[in-house]
């Protein structure tokens, strides 16, 4: 595989893995299986936090440096990460108090927020990052995976 599209391919695949885990946690709450829900949600939260960090600590700074854009798309992506962290906190509280209705409503909200966020990254940001990084994409990806 050429380096062209490396970031896109890896990060898009990681998005889908996170999505499945979120859906599994939701299904467990819907099925009133709180032990499984807790396990699935904890796994999801760790996974998505890792994803955010790969972007915020490595990918976005690289993109900003090479594009000269520090107040554009990455700023919006960072602010959406913050909104999603608030939703994660609300999900944790709903899980801890066994409130299925709040959990499912918040999970639905997070799912839509996450998907529109992913669309922007997959349609625009990742292809552009691949373009800007060129030959260095492999090295940057290694640093992201190393987190």
Partner 1 sequence: MTFSTRQLSLDESPALTVPGRFFATAPAFGVVAAALMLWAGPGQFAGRWSPAVLATTHLLTLGYMAMVMFGALMQVFPVVVGQRFPRSRLISTWVHLFLCVGVVLLVLGFLGAPAWVMGAAAAALALGAGLLLGAAAMALSRVSVRGRSVRSLGLALGALLLTAAFGVWLALAYVGLTPPAFAWIDDHVAWGLAGWLPLLVIAVAYQVVPMFQLTPAYPGWLMRGLGGWIFGGLVLGLVLRHVAAPAWAPALAFGLVGVGLATFAVVTLALQHRRRRRLADATVWYWQLGMVCLAVAVVLWTAGRVWAPLATDPRYPVLLGALMIPGFALAVINGMLYKIVPFLVWLHLALAPAAPGRPGAGAAPHMKQVIPPAHAKRQFRVHLAGLILLLAGIAGIPLAFEAGAASFGLGCVLLERDVLLALRLYRRRAGSGGQASPEPAGAGSL
* List of residues contacting partner 1 (CB under 8 A): 19-20, 23-24, 26-27, 30, 67, 69, 71-73, 75-76, 79-80, 83, 86, 89-90, 101-102, 104-106, 108-109, 111-113, 115-120, 123-125, 127-128, 131-132
- CA–CA dist 129, 121 (Å, integer): 10
Nearer to partner 1, 31 or 138 (CB): 31
Query: DSSP E strands: which ranges in 15-71?
Result: none
For residue 33, give the 3-state DSSP assignment: coil
Shortest reach from residue 24's CB to partner 1, in Å = 8
Nearer to partner 1, 32 or 142 (CB): 32
Q: Around 80, how many Cα atoms within 13 Å sit in the side-chain half-sphere? A: 22
């Amino acid at each position: 595989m050429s380096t062209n599209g490396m970031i896109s391919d890896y990060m898009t695949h990681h998005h889908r893995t996170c999505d499945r885990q979120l859906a599994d946690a939701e299904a467990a709450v819907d099925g009133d299986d709180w032990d499984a829900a807790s396990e699935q949600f904890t796994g999801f939260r760790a996974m998505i936090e890792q994803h955010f960090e790969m972007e915020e600590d490595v990918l976005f700074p690289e993109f900003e440096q090479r594009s000269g854009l520090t107040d554009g798309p990455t700023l919006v992506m960072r602010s959406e990460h913050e909104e999603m962290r608030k939703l994660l906190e609300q999900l944790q509280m709903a899980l801890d108090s066994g409130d299925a209705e709040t959990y499912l409503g918040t999970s639905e909200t997070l799912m839509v927020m996450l998907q529109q966020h992913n669309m922007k990254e997959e349609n625009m940001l990742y292809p552009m990052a691949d373009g800007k990084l060129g030959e260095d994409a492999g090295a940057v990806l290694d640093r992201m995976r190393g987190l």
